[in-house]
Amino acid sequence: MLRDHFFLPDDPAIEFRAFTHGLMPKTVPAMMEGFVEDWKTRGVDAWNEVPNRWQPGDERAVGWWTLPEYLGDQFIAPLLGAPAGSCIMQPHVHWTVQCLLSCPEPFAHGHEVVVTEKEFPSVLHSVQQWQGLKDIEARIVPPASGGFVDREAVLNAIGPDTALVILSHVGFTSGEKLDHDFLRTVAERAHAHDALFAIDGYHAASTMPVNVTETNCDVYFGGLLKEACGSSGNAYLYVRPGLTLTPRLAGWFADADPFGFNVAPEPHPDVRRRFLGGTTAVASLYHAVEGVRLLLDLGLDEVRTHSLALTERAIERAEAAGLTLRSPHEADRRGAMVILKAERADLLCAWLKDRHVYTDSRQQRYLRLAPFVWNSKDEVDRAFDIIAEALKSRVYFQHEAPVEAGPVT
């Protein structure tokens, strides 16, 4: 589909790791050369103005200073179905969550932060690390059977003591997508208790249409490293228009009068900008949205349709080969990833890699694959021909145990 727009690790490669790390869009090298050029030829003036390499036809002046909100308006807002003025780039989700927890506003009425046990550590650990520093208590909801979200338990955990609810739109260990009606119900329940609802959309936005306004959440955050193909240093934040938040972690880039170097801090009038810290790392903003651009040009409905068709085919073929599915079966509960139980999945993954089929594995038991916009049904079939053969012959058990090259998320 969009195969020709991305670099592949080798050719021919069947690359199924969109859920782990996206491929590089072919426009990225030119964008990075643009960064070098802007720095080389403009020096400090680049903070005020650089050529608009992101939207060449757009008259709006861009400079490194305003790039986080410019990219928020031009690329993140359409990705999230958000209005202009509500989104901004962030360095990573961890920072965004820290900022959110440092705001006094959510804690004016309650002190509990409701999360599930399956949130990513940038959320789950952060909430617990703030306990004791501030009057914050983590209310951690265990999963239901199969590792999926216990919806009833989440709703029951929200009450008069709730300050904030944070849930993953798509679970990173389960591939489970929370549906629109459930998210709206959570928002309603949270708002009934004057609590805020924040969604970690890392694996949802960019794989399907998202509409933060209809979902009625207060905050939505995520990153562009994976399905959005933007590499590291490129996370984002949406704050519901009209919501006041004043992160105590706000840095001088978030100040209303940064070059006044005043004695006392003054929160920026634009709430989203209050989530900035010290000097913005601008190099990563040059490669941030090249993947998003491709996905938006194709259309998020089309992205989702294609992703669902490929995951459906993968599930059919996996089940026919005798593998058990660990991620949800139903289309409306599926994200972009398929998780399969496989004996010595680590060896199978390494064996497949030798054959240029790229998947990843977890805990030696789970094989994960996320066929995405650069893949075709034919590739899914070819990959599963190889997988079926490996399972039948058990030949992959003879593969050398893979060297731990470092963790991948």
Q: In the complex, which residues of this chain contact ligand PLP (CB under 6 A)?
A: 92-94, 120, 122, 168, 172, 200, 202-203, 223, 235, 409
> Is the CB of 50 or the CB of 87 nearer to ligand PLP?
87
The least distance separating ligand PLP from the CB of residue 358, rounded to whole angstroms, comes to 17
Buried b (16+ CB within 10 A) or exposed e, 234-243: bbbbbbbeee
> Is the CB of 85 or the CB of 147 nearer to ligand PLP?
147
> Cβ–Cβ contacts within 10 Å for residue 43, how many?
9
The least distance separating ligand PLP from the CB of residue 204, rounded to whole angstroms, comes to 9
How far apart, in whole angstroms, are the C-alpha atoms of residue 155 and residue 159? 9
| Interacting residues of 230 by C-beta distance below 8 A, sequence separation 6+ | 22, 223, 224, 287, 288, 289, 290, 291, 292
How far apart, in whole angstroms, are the C-alpha atoms of residue 285 and residue 299? 22
- Cα–Cα–Cα angle for 274, 213, 223, rounded to 5 degrees: 55
Backbone φ and ψ of 272, nearest 5°: -60, -35
The least distance separating ligand PLP from the CB of residue 351, rounded to whole angstroms, comes to 25
> Is the CB of 202 or the CB of 358 nearer to ligand PLP?
202
> Is the CB of 110 or the CB of 222 nearer to ligand PLP?
222
Burial of residue 323 (CB within 10 Å: 0-12, 13-18, 19+) is buried
Residue whose C-alpha is closest to residue 5's, from 21, 26, 23, 29: 26
The least distance separating ligand PLP from the CB of residue 356, rounded to whole angstroms, comes to 24
> Is the CB of 110 or the CB of 230 nearer to ligand PLP?
230
> Is the CB of 41 or the CB of 409 nearer to ligand PLP?
409
The least distance separating ligand PLP from the CB of residue 168, rounded to whole angstroms, comes to 5
The least distance separating ligand PLP from the CB of residue 93, rounded to whole angstroms, comes to 4
Judge contact between 405 and 338, C-beta under 8 A.
no
